[in-house]
A = this chain, B = another copy of it.
Amino acid sequence: MSTLKQLKICIVTLVLTLLSNVAQAQITNDISHNEAFKALLAAKKNAEESNVLVNIAVVDAGANLKAFVRMDESYLGSIDVAIKKAKTARYFNIDTGKLGELTQPGGIIYNIELTNQGLVSFPGGIPIKNKDGKIIGAIGVSGGTIEQDRAIAIAGAKSIID
């Protein structure tokens, strides 16, 4: 090995070692299953009041499924859509409808939906925040119009800070 190469490796190792000396754990806030139920029920209540049949999914801070319900007679195809809306909202901390504005042909992140084993980029996915404004999970709703899905998801997310 050349002296130059050895020197380079030495520098990289040094930088990494310095970095690891300042290593500290993160404290994250994660939705509990009781909160997930609360969001689910608030969303379901909103859907019932609007006479809409939906699937509702809640994911945690790590974008893993936490709670789910499919209302009777709602679309079978909405199971996966609701789960993917919730995951997408947490993957990018975004209202999924906002994402869709950027993914159209000519959009700056066209076809990003093909990543992460399938994203959903139309309305109905909303991040869930705690009272301090920290994102602790997300909710996804599918089965009504995109406006209805979004309103129901917001009702679910909002219930956590009420």
Contact = CB atoms under 8 A, between A and B. Distances in A.
Interface of A: 8-9, 12-13, 15-17, 19-20, 22-38, 41, 60-73, 75-81, 84, 88, 90-93, 100, 103-106, 108-122, 130, 136, 145-146, 159-160
Q: How many copies does the complex hold?
A: 4
B114 A110 contact: no
A38 to B, nearest CB: 3
Given A104-B106, A108-B146, A38 B23 contact: yes
B93 A88 contact: no
B37 A19 contact: yes
A110 B104 contact: yes
A72 B106 contact: no
